[in-house]
Amino acid sequence: MRRMHDQVWKMRAILFCTALLVISAGSDVVLGAGPIFWDWPADRPFDEMQIEGAAIDIEGNLVGGLAGRTAGPVGPEVFWRILSDGRGGYYTGTGHGGEIHHTTSGDKSRLVTTLEGTEVFSLLRLDGGDLLAGCGPEGQLFRIDDKGQATLLGSVPGGYVWAMATDPGDGAVLLAVGSPAAVFRYDAGSDSLEAVVELPAQNALDLTFDDQGRLLVATQGPGLIYSIDPARPDDLKLLFETAQDEARQFINGPEGDLFVLALNTEGSGLQGGGVSPGMEMPSAAPSLFSLLIEDNGPQIPRAALYRLEQDGIVVPYWAGDVDLMIAAWSSRWGWLGGGPLADDSGRTVLHGLTPPVGSHPVAGWSGGDILDILVIGDSGKDESIIVCQAHPGSVTVLGRSGKEARAAVSPSLDGGLPVRWGRLNWTTSGGAGKVKFTVRGGSRYEPDESWTDWSDSWSDKDRAIPLDPSRFLQWRVEFPATDGEDPIRLTSVSVSAWQDNRAPVIVSFTQEYLKAIHLGMMNNHNDNITQTFRSGLQAEFSQNSTADHLAGPERAVVGRSVRVFTWEGSDPNGDRVIYDLAYRRQGEEAWRDVLVGRAELLGSWDTSEMPDGRYELRLTASDSPDNPGHLAAESSRSLGPILVDNTEPEISGFKLKVLDDGFQVDLTGKDSGGFLAGARLRLPDGTTERLDPVDGICDSPTEKFAAKIVWPRPGGLTGSAPWRVRVEVRDLAGNTTVAEGEVR
């Protein structure tokens, strides 16, 4: 019998058993039986919080921020534009019904007029108090008096009046329109509307006058900044081409400098930011019609601020990969930016922009996309931030004053299993006052009616968490209302819990069944044997001899004494799992190890030295790598009975008899441990021929073989008599018995 040794192991195409199945936590915390910790900001930032009136400062700490209240009109789905009335109130232009509202400083709103079938994209107050409304999609320009009477002054050919500005020289109004990009002029005295200049772009999105009286125009498709002398409008001067394809907005910033917000909209999907069904869309629509979604990430910054110098030089000032549609400057809060919702949570975030590349949330609330921002009030701490939104449409007033909550809520902390909650501790820095913490827990990731109510609040910096065991927990921190220059800052939070250990689970435990066997194969060593199993697994073994080259796909193959097993496991705690493999003979109690402490998901058992009989295999999974000895848990699974047969078959009655045209061979094969697999006859010329039993099928422990062999072969080289003949009889376990004789 050829004995096999599993000295060399290699695998190929074993996709199903390369990794443990583990339960992952929604909180991304590393789980395991025993203590669990969630730490901010040690392993996670504060910007994953849901903030309501809270903010994140430039150092990444949580602070009390801008609290918001809903103000202004209600009902319209989209608020495109907001304009100060100069008295602490503001006008808003909406879509899709073309409504214009006025809201006082006391939050009292009234409908000024309705411009049917339009979108109000721009608003301007004339010296006499009348309003101009620039609209789309038909490019209408309306004049509205103090009684709300609207007069259509004309329409621009492009279809959209994106912005308007008053010429400080003669009081005329210049209009930025598209598409294509152009500048129009409206004379309030004569109510005339005429084209001034066309620009090589798709849309002129904004315009303003600098302190030297020059007209500046920003375009989209591409993002260009032009300087135009009103007296010679055909003499265009290109100041700058932005890296982004949209120069969106002129902004008066710190020190009275002029800035341009540029946005990257190329490749973004048009998500219909408030556009009515049937509206004709301009090609490569500007950001107001886009949610700036890019599948593969931007090649250039999504947003940037450029500063315009006195000599016409334009220099980069800030850049970031936040999605913006609008920006504003506040002497109290610095640069602010807003845009589309970042996800489907319905959470609106107002960003603080920190040159040259930083950004952080300064306010958050439940709302829609930010389309416009207006800073009004006295400079400094009394400023209010008015935000126009869409989907749903709303106007939100943000400021320090008022009784609105200033709080932040953590994401749901997932213990993986119900856990015993430990303690919550935190640290602060900065100004006076105290923060207040409260917690709640539940069994689902998204809080619902099955969750507990919020607990009573506390201000202790280290407190046992007052919750019964649960899988999920949220904490909430509330900041004191203060207008101080040095607000209290939450610098760290830590939550602990204890997870009881649970035993790992053996999902499957399988003996691999042979499909084929080959010599050499994986490393091209002809003295090795490669077994291919039905599952696709391949294993390579070394053998002591290469004398036997007879290999078959199913029965009586060399190497059957080495049994191969695969398994899969999981651990409810996410612990690492190791495996032991052991065997015992049926009827016995003691187990003997085959493999110990194996992390791999497969193993082999060489049965070549085992006594014949039926055996059981036991696989034991243990989570001891991640648990102290007294806390480790294990589970087991058995497989069997597995027949071990190392006894060669017996040959009896072996006879060779000369015939006129060859010879007759007769023998009886018997196997005491199982069934015979077959017999082969090795002829004098070295070739082999299968011997079939008398009953035709080799399927019993005892079989009779009788065959007439034509010899010599016609045309074959046979040599001279006597002829040497060899018979091999094998059983299903691969054991072989050989008998030889001479034909005389």
Q: Which of 8-22, 186-200, 374-388 has the highest mean pLDDT?
A: 186-200
Assess if residue 670 is contained within a domain.
Answer: yes
Task: Say whether the peptide bond before residue 356 is cis (omega within 30 degrees of 0).
Answer: yes
Residue type (1 letter), 437: F
Same domain, 377 and 274: yes
Same domain, 720 and 636: no
- What is the DSSP-derived secondary structure letter of residue 698? -
Full-prediction pTM beyond 0.85? no
633 is in which domain, residue-wise?
A: 4-24+504-644
Of 644, 675, 709, the one marking the end of a domain is 644
Q: Within its chain, how far is the Cα of 345 from the centroid?
A: 16
| Least confident stretch, 16-25, 366-375, 572-581, 724-733 | 16-25
Cα 289 from Cα 286, distance rounded (Å): 6
**Is 657's pLDDT higher than 50?**
yes
Average pLDDT, the chain: 83
**Is residue 670 within 8 Å of 652, Cβ to Cβ?**
yes
Closest CA to 7 of 645, 734, 606, 609: 606
Total tally of structural domains belonging to the chain: 4
Assess if residue 29 is contained within a domain.
Answer: no
Closest CA to 500 of 450, 569, 579, 575: 575
Residues 6+ apart with CB under 8 A from 715: none
Q: How confident is the model at residue 521 (pLDDT cuts 50, 70, 90)?
A: low
Please, which contacts does 363-367 make with residues 24 or more away whose CB atoms are closer than 8 Å?
363/51, 363/53, 363/55, 363/65, 363/66, 363/67, 363/68, 363/398, 364/50, 364/51, 364/52, 364/53, 364/54, 365/52, 365/53, 365/68, 365/396, 366/52, 367/392, 367/394, 367/396
Distances (CA, A) of 179 to 115, 130, 131, 568, 692: 21, 27, 24, 62, 89
Assess if residue 96 is contained within a domain.
Answer: yes
Token pair, residue 400, equals 């320090």
Closest CA to 561 of 6, 9, 7, 8: 6
Same domain, 448 and 548: no
pLDDT in tens, 226-245: 999 878 888 889 999 999 99
| Least confident stretch, 249-253, 479-483, 590-594, 597-601 | 479-483
Same domain, 256 and 319: yes
Q: How confident is the model at residue 740 (pLDDT cuts 50, 70, 90)?
A: very high
Token pair, residue 655, equals 């006879």
Cα 630 from Cα 613, distance rounded (Å): 37
pLDDT in tens, 676-723: 989 999 988 888 899 999 998 988 999 999 999 888 877 766 666 788
Task: Say whether the peptide bond before residue 96 is cis (omega within 30 degrees of 0).
Answer: yes
pLDDT in tens, 40-51: 998 788 988 888
Higher pLDDT, 540 or 741: 741
Of 601, 629, 644, the one marking the end of a domain is 644
Same domain, 41 and 149: no
- What is the DSSP-derived secondary structure letter of residue 46? G
**Is 544's pLDDT higher than 70?**
no
Assess if residue 203 is contained within a domain.
Answer: yes
Assess if residue 77 is contained within a domain.
Answer: yes
Of 499, 515, 541, the one marking the end of a domain is 499
